[in-house]
Amino acid sequence: MLTGRITDIVQKMPKVDLHLHLDGCVKPDTIMILAEEQGISLPVTDKEQLLPYLQVAENCSSLTQYLSKFDFTVPFLQTAEALQRVAYEAVEQSAGHYCKYIEVRFAPQLHRDKGLSVDEAIFWVIEGLKQGERRFGVKVRVIAICMRNHSAQANREVIEAAANYMGKGLVAVDLAGDEASYPAANFRDTFALARKLGIPITIHAGEAAGPANIYEAITHLGAVRIGHGVRVQENPAIMEIIKERRIPLEMCPVSNIQTKAVTDWDMYPIKHYFDQGLILTINTDNPTVSGTNITEEYKIITEKFGFTVPDLVTLVMNGVDASFLEANEKQSLKLEFEQLIGEL
Ligand SMILES: O=c1[nH]cnc2c1ncn2[C@@H]1O[C@H](CO)[C@@H](O)[C@H]1O
Ligand SMILES: [Zn+2]
């Protein structure tokens, strides 16, 4: 058990969440409301019963099983109102955990079933996030996701639309989905376009496949951050490159155990990576799907791996440093964090 003092610090500590999927943090309450509004019938009548449809089970054994949860949620997120609402609520939920800055990611191509364009999907998500930003005092930016199972043309559209929102709330592009079936090397052209258009890149890699994808992401796709990167230790030479180049890893502890990036907590290399000097950040991935929140993530790693208060401060400040904010914005955020941490 953690002492009262550490628990208190973990709770009150200002935080960032750099790896947060919009469709992975929809509240059961909201699904009930959206179902009603959109005339979609639900398999159950109350929100407690809804949870198993939204959240992975204890015995989740792979990333593909984990990803199947999104099939339930995404059909509710096909209108401007729904996207705006869940974006706003993402900010609200993060604010409840003292997040001062979040990067919310989503795949615009998944939200076109009722006629929205990729551009419109991005527009409405940014609208909702901006509302949340004003209401809750959390700074928010967007990352547009290309999906591994989508066509090159579909992903190209995402990159082109993302370019239109650079400087208007969007800060980067990503690649997500079934990593084991679609190696990173398939996406060279997609991310060459992103680089050409000047959009920063982060890539999910080393989660459901080995370090080769991490290497591919940083050397060929142009990733400056890595989503998860949990399996990098399987190749010491690649781990050394990540360390040397100071590539931040967006670790999402609870999710990483559920998707079986490693078999269990005993095998989770977070403390080892930290002690080796890798740049780690702590994030939620999908609060609803994973049944987690950012406070819980910090609590668990502190409990299981003995991170000290100064370690936690390092992890939080790594997140500020690794953010896709512009230099002057990052500098002010850093100052704000230093002050808030000083007051803890
Ligand atoms: O941890 C993950 N690894 C890979 N893909 C993911 C993860 N979490 C969510 N998504 C995928 O990203 C899509 C857009 O947000 C989600 O619909 C889900 O398919
Ligand atoms: Zn993710």
Could you tell me if the ipTM is greater than 0.95? Answer: yes
* 67 CA from centroid of ligand 2 (Å): 10
Which CATH number is 129's domain given?
3.20.20.140
* Sheet of strand 280-282, all strands in order from the earlier edge strand to the far edge: 202-205, 225-228, 249-251, 280-282
* 21 CA from centroid of ligand 1 (Å): 7
**Range 126-160 burial, b when 16+ CB lie within 10 A, else e:** bbbbbbbbeebebbbbbbbbbbbebeeebbbbbbe
Digits of tens for pLDDT over the chain (344 positions)? 677 889 999 999 999 999 999 999 999 999 999 999 999 999 999 999 999 999 999 999 999 999 999 999 999 999 999 999 999 999 999 999 999 999 999 999 999 999 999 999 999 999 999 999 999 999 999 999 999 999 999 999 999 999 999 999 999 999 999 999 999 999 999 999 999 999 999 999 999 999 999 999 999 999 999 999 999 999 999 999 999 999 999 999 999 999 999 999 999 999 999 999 999 999 999 999 999 999 999 999 999 999 999 999 999 999 999 999 999 999 999 999 999 999 99
CA dihedral 52, 56, 57, 62 (to 10 degrees): 150
Among 207, 216, 250, 297, the active-site one is: 207
Q: How far apart are CA 10 and CA 124, in angstroms?
A: 33
DSSP, collapsed to helix, strand or coil, labels residue 26 as: coil
**Range 186-222 burial, b when 16+ CB lie within 10 A, else e:** ebeebbebbeeeebbbbbbbbbbbbbbbbbbbbeebb
pLDDT per residue as tens digits for the range 94-115: 999 999 999 999 999 999 999 9
pTM, to two decimals:
0.98
What lies within 8 Å, CB to CB, of 192 at 6+ separation is 222
Residue 244 catalytic? no
Residue 285 annotated in ligand binding: yes
Q: How far apart are CA 163 and CA 165, in angstroms?
A: 5
Q: Ligand 1: residues within 6 Å at CB?
A: 21, 23-24, 63, 67, 70, 105-107, 110, 145, 176-177, 204, 207, 255, 285-286
Indicate which atom in ligand 1 lies nearest the CA of residue 179.
4
* 128 CA from centroid of ligand 1 (Å): 20
* 317 CA from centroid of ligand 1 (Å): 25
Residue 21 annotated in ligand binding: yes
Q: Which residue shows structure tokens 């500098």?
A: 331
In 3D, which of 283, 258, 201, 268 has the Cα closest to residue 230?
Answer: 268
CB 17 within 8 A of CB 284: yes
pLDDT per residue as tens digits for the range 206-257: 999 999 999 999 999 999 999 999 999 999 999 999 999 999 999 999 999 9
Residue 23 annotated in ligand binding: yes
CB 261 within 8 A of CB 64: no
Residue nearest to atom 5 of ligand 1 (CA): 177
Count of the separate structural domains present in the chain: 1
Residue 115 annotated in ligand binding: no
pLDDT per residue as tens digits for the range 320-334: 999 999 999 999 999
Q: How far apart are CA 270 and CA 102, in angstroms?
A: 22
Ligand nearest to the CA of 205: 1
Give me the domain span that covers residue 234: 4-342
